[in-house]
Structure 1
């Protein structure tokens, strides 16, 4: 599930929910709901997280298990 991936990525990069929420310009509670799967994460947030973590949106969305970003 993509909500588990965004939590795992955040933890792997030693970031707090507050830091990621600030990066996305969100309240921490809104971001927490994305991580827990309570709210659907919007496309713009998936794109920004993929940029931050240098991975693909497909990885975050669970469409692939390869975290490598696409080649330009």
Structure 2
């Protein structure tokens, strides 16, 4: 099972990738079936990504990044200023 949707770091809440992909979808006023079609999967399968019940494949991550015009780092919630590339 994927990590819970919101984890805590002290008092700070950290948004997990399943919450980010849901927020991106909702910001575009799309439903799960719309995104499932883009990914070439079913709505129920995609729903499990958003619920954190199924891990998002890298190919789907790439497709979502290109579709939403965001980086994989953003979707994954990685911090800015990582050491790579140097």
- Provide TM-score, normalisation by structure 1: 0.86
Unaligned runs of 5+ in 2: 1-15, 81-86
Instruction: Name whichever structure is richer in helix by fraction.
Output: 1
SS in 2 for 1:55: coil
By how many angstroms is 1:48 displaced?
0.3
Tell me the matched-pair count. 65
- Larger radius of gyration between Structure 1 and Structure 2: 2
Instruction: Name whichever structure is richer in strand by fraction.
Output: 2
Q: What's the RMSD between the two structures over aligned residues? A: 1.1
Unaligned runs of 5+ in 1: 66-72
Which contiguous aligned blocks of 4+ residues in structure 1 show a shift greater than 6 angstroms? none
